[in-house]
Amino acid sequence: MTKTFSPARPIWCAGCGDFAVQGVLEKSLDSLNIPREQLMFLAGIGCSGTIQNNIKCYGYHALHGRVLPTAIGVKLANPNLTVVAAGGDGDGYAIGAGHLVHTFRSNPSLTYIVMNNSNYGLTKGQPSPTSPLGYKSNAEMDMDAILLGLSLPSTTFLARGFSGHPEQLGQLLVAALKHAEEGKGFAFIEVLSPCVTYYDTHREWASRVHNVDEDPDYNCTDRGNAFSKSLEILNNHKIPIGLLYHGEHVSLESLSLKEDCIPPALQDLNSPDSVENCKKIIQSFMG
Amino acid sequence: MTPVNGTQPVLEDLNVIVAGQGGDGSLTVVTLLAELMRDYGFNVYTERDVLSRIRGGHTAATVRAFSGDRYCIGSNIDLLVALDDEAIEKNTRHLDGNSIVIFDESGGKLTNGSLPKGIKLYSAPFNRIAMRTMRRELYRNSIAFGVVSRLIGLEDEALKKIFKKRFARLGTTVLDYNLEALDLGFGIADEFGLTNGAGLYKIKKKKAANKLLITGNESVALGFIVAGGRFYAGYPITPSSEILESLQKWLPMFGGVARQTEDELSGINMAMGAALTGARVMVGTSGPGFSLMQEGIGHAGSAEIPIVIVDCQRAGPSTGMPTKPEQSDINLMIFGGHGDFPRIVLAPGHPEDCFYLAAEATNLAFKYQCPVYISMDQGLSQNIATVDPFDLEKIEVDEGYQLDAEDLKKLDVYKRYAHTENDISPFAKPGTPGGFSLVTGNEHDEWGLVSTDPDNRVQMMKKRMNKIEHAKEHLPEARHFGNGDEKIGFIGIGMTYGVILEAMEQLEAYGVDTQFLQLRTIWPVLDEVNEFINRCDKVYVVEYNAVGQLAHLLMHQGADSGKIIKIIKYDGIPFRPREIYNRVMEENKSNNAGKKKTKKKRANSK
């Protein structure tokens, strides 16, 4: 066996929610028998942005906020790969918020895990877009990425897990990975992952989560129901977790690539067909 | 130009400008004329002077048709097609006593004195005729086109053929109406006494020219594909959008993808994502978008991701003058981004160069695993020119240092950032068993694990920067024009190429001999530059920006600053050969200079 990098030891503080995410993710990948060399694991910047270093994979450390466009590039160039993107709430909802909207719109078949700790942990606790109004003189209302996703008609998989509920988180991650593996589009999963050092929300969140998977009134396949129920839960000062929306929409890669074609990354660049096509284009500029 | 009733001269060099308001269709007329002249066997060059708006504002498009090689518009205009008064006002400075004007008098006849003396005027209410007869303003161009072509001396049939080719895809109704308008134009020409075949010139149809009529942007797109380019990301921005549009049309034929992203931040990162998988990638942009891409480009340098960046330079800073040419991002390409990272900057001079250098850039990026720029400018990007058909045989796909599963099996250890003799590390495509790796822009060790170890830092920085030293001898060399012993030199890149060459001919005809180094690699600066400068007494560095960025770069790299003279322009208007000629003549008056050489063939003085 060729020796490759030895996975790093996590840099996280003891008790950080991200440990649960990593453990559950590894189990989920194994349960789906995804060969690790097929896994392209991209992460953003922040505490969560080091997760790819800790497992055997083809790993990539993206620029701050740019993990989604990078992951889309990977998926379009080689849709055979299992593409998983990860990052924090600052990375995904502040500096990278624009890309989140457009990834919801384009529906590429990849999994995106946002480890939401409601603050900027790596830079020592500044407020993030999910910090509540008033947290460390935060003057902005916190945002809910699931509601944002629900407002865009092209979203297909929206879920929220809690690091304190690893069993449900595992089910959600398996469902998310499957959704993307089957080419059904963008699997978005936010994980409530408390920061033990700067903003320890573990107990608070444990008391506030409302599991919609066990709520008979919540219909995750009905966008209108999902939106109004989610709002209702939030208005009751609870946080909806579980599979919050599951729908259908054409995937980006199926619109961008011809069916059954060889991925751009794996083509024979000297094929006779390719030469013929070049000649055809050149001919079109002649008289 | 000789009057119609004189002996018809043979057409050697013709400059036609069509001017009116944005949306009037000046560009369409010029493009058609360019195609027609190419089919007649002439070389063609076009230029556009437009505003960043779809309707209104003064616009002009110019076409030059000639027998020799020219990559610029001439200094004088032979024929001005003025679609309104403003077109006359703005363009009279390009006219001389031999020029001819075709004027649309729908808005009123020209007053006395609005044209220089001696100019022949053909005036008709094209717009009014279009409205009266065809009920649509837009047919005015086809009517005018009938007069223009008769005036030049082109055959009616050749025109109809081009119309059929051009308008067929818009449906038979559009084609029929345009042909009808063309006939109306021929009718007006008849009234002027310009009958079929009795134009200004004797135009011999040359044997099939076999030339491409193409822009630099299209050529870059094609060169990229031929060298294996399969992924492109871009955001619409003038003057780079045609690369995106061309690749959206072409890449699917090759199983590739061209994606329009939500912004340039997404574009550069999406391209890097595709590059991680082993696909060959390119992004294209201009000014503001290029600034936005800086962080990504530095990251590609640090993480050693192969990527080609096309910068179609326009007048900056900020939003600047989006449709006007400049070469003012030289500093940003070479010194932009935070931190130190390796990069290569290539600079083509005409569409043919664009094709081969785009292919070269694609290979270089892959081989040296670093960002490679193609420095363009608005003129080079968007002006149409005739070039020889591209030779696919000349291009090979460089496989780079790639490992497949079999290669990996034979290795004891695989490190993505391994130190090697030539500082290029092996790369395995994700999906390859046994090739696990980490890619990051953080400083990292050979495995790709983040490291701030001081020794590792120094080694890694050296490894990355050294790649450029290794690349030096494989980078595209400059093209040299002249004998090599002339005392006056020119250095220029991009769209200065054609103007400098023509100015050189004009200077030579008056006894001033010069040589010219057309740079094709501007970073790293190659030894050829100082060798050239050392051979000259003075060197004019011709460029489009306010401070002389190219000149400063060369001085910074050791060029003798006492010899360098800047010729700069940043008013948004391309140089005419005569401007360069005048400037050099002024500064180099000597006994033998200034007298026309009789023995040598007189250079074209357009």
In tens, the pLDDT along B67-85 reads 888 899 998 899 999 999 9
Confidence of residue B593 (pLDDT cuts 50, 70, 90): low
Q: What is the pLDDT of residue B93?
A: 86
What is the tens place of the pLDDT at every residue in B315-329?
999 999 999 999 999
User: Rounded CA gap, A206 and B67, in Å?
Assistant: 82
Indicate whether B33 and B174 sit together in one domain: yes
Q: What is the pLDDT of residue B600?
A: 45
Q: What is the pLDDT of residue B152?
A: 92
Mean pLDDT calculated for residue range B225-239:
97
pLDDT at A69 over 90: yes
Counting residues of chain A whose pLDDT is more than 70, the rounded percentage is 100
Indicate whether B304 and B223 sit together in one domain: yes
Residue contact A70–B390, C-beta within 8 A: no
Which of A53, A275, A278 has its CB closest to that of B438? Answer: A53
Indicate whether B374 and B436 sit together in one domain: no
Q: What is the pLDDT of residue B605?
A: 38
Nearest to B112 by CA among B121, B104, B124, B102: B121
Q: What size, in residues, is chain B? A: 606
Following DSSP, what letter does each residue of B383-424 receive, concatenated? -EEEEPPP-GGG------SEE-HHHHHH-SB--TT---TTSP
Q: What is the pLDDT of residue B4?
A: 46
Q: What is the pLDDT of residue B69?
A: 83
**Structural domain contains residue B2:** no
CA B443 vs CA A49, A258, B299, B372, B455: distances in Å: 15, 38, 11, 21, 12
Q: Residue B66 is part of which domain span?
A: 13-210
Final residue belonging to a domain, choices B394, B424, B458: B394
Whether the CB of B430 is below 8 Å from some CB of chain A: the reply is yes
Mean pLDDT calculated for residue range B226-242:
97
Confidence of residue B53 (pLDDT cuts 50, 70, 90): confident
What is the tens place of the pLDDT at every residue in B402-440?
999 999 999 999 999 999 999 999 999 999 999 999 999
DSSP H or E run through A179: helix A166-181
Whether the CB of B266 is below 8 Å from some CB of chain A: the reply is yes
Confidence of residue B603 (pLDDT cuts 50, 70, 90): very low
Min Cα–Cα distance to chain A from B38, Å? 7
Indicate whether B413 and B560 sit together in one domain: no
Residue contact B437–A56, C-beta within 8 A: no
Identify the architecture of domain A18-283 in CATH.
3-Layer(aba) Sandwich (3.40)
Min Cα–Cα distance to chain B from A63, Å? 7
Indicate whether B146 and B234 sit together in one domain: no
Whether the CB of A275 is below 8 Å from some CB of chain B: the reply is yes
- Which residue in chain B is spatially nearest to A95 when comparing CA positions? B265
User: Rounded CA gap, B61 and B41, in Å?
Assistant: 21
More confident residue, B399 or B594: B399
Mean pLDDT calculated for residue range B354-383:
98
Confidence of residue B209 (pLDDT cuts 50, 70, 90): low
Indicate whether B205 and B67 sit together in one domain: yes
Q: What is the pLDDT of residue B592?
A: 55
Nearest to B93 by CA among B576, B572, B602, B498: B576
pLDDT at B503 over 70: yes
CA angle B180/B184/B190 to nearest 5° reads 140
- Which residue in chain A is spatially nearest to B254 when comparing CA positions? A274
Those residues whose C-beta lies under 8 Å from the C-beta of residue B449, and which sit 6 or more positions away, are: A5, A8, A53, B438
Indicate whether B299 and B412 sit together in one domain: no
pLDDT at B591 over 80: no
Q: What is the pLDDT of residue B590?
A: 62
Mean pLDDT calculated for residue range B251-267:
97
Indicate whether B282 and B147 sit together in one domain: no
Confidence of residue B335 (pLDDT cuts 50, 70, 90): very high
**Amino acid residing at A189:** I
- Which residue in chain A is spatially nearest to B208 when comparing CA positions? A287
Counting residues of chain B whose pLDDT is more than 90, the rounded percentage is 80
Nearest to A185 by CA among A265, A83, A94: A83
Q: What is the CATH number of the domain that holds B223?
A: 3.40.50.970
The tokens for B192 are 């002027």
Q: What is the pLDDT of residue B595?
A: 62
Min Cα–Cα distance to chain A from B339, Å? 15
Q: What is the pLDDT of residue B396?
A: 95
Final residue belonging to a domain, choices B394, B428, B454: B394
Min Cα–Cα distance to chain B from A36, Å? 8
Whether the CB of A125 is below 8 Å from some CB of chain B: the reply is no
pLDDT at B153 over 50: yes
Indicate whether B369 and B419 sit together in one domain: no
- Residues of B with Cβ-Cβ distance to A43 under 8 angstroms: none
Mean pLDDT of chain B: 93
Confidence of residue B604 (pLDDT cuts 50, 70, 90): very low
Q: What is the CATH number of the domain that holds B570?
A: 3.40.50.920
Indicate whether B220 and B345 sit together in one domain: yes
Mean pLDDT of chain A: 97
Final residue belonging to a domain, choices B183, B210, B237: B210
Q: What is the pLDDT of residue B596?
A: 65
- Is the distance from CB of B359 to CB of B395 less than 8 angstroms? yes
Those residues whose C-beta lies under 8 Å from the C-beta of residue A112, and which sit 6 or more positions away, are: A67, A68, A71, A84, A85, A86, A87, A92, A103, A186, A187, A188, A189
Confidence of residue B196 (pLDDT cuts 50, 70, 90): confident
User: Rounded CA gap, B333 and B578, in Å?
Assistant: 30
Total domains in chain B come to: 4
ipTM of the complex in this document: 0.98
Domain residue ranges in chain A? 18-283
Indicate whether B297 and B409 sit together in one domain: no
The tokens for B337 are 């981004």
pLDDT at A88 over 50: yes
Helix (H, G, I), strand (E, B) or coil at A79: coil
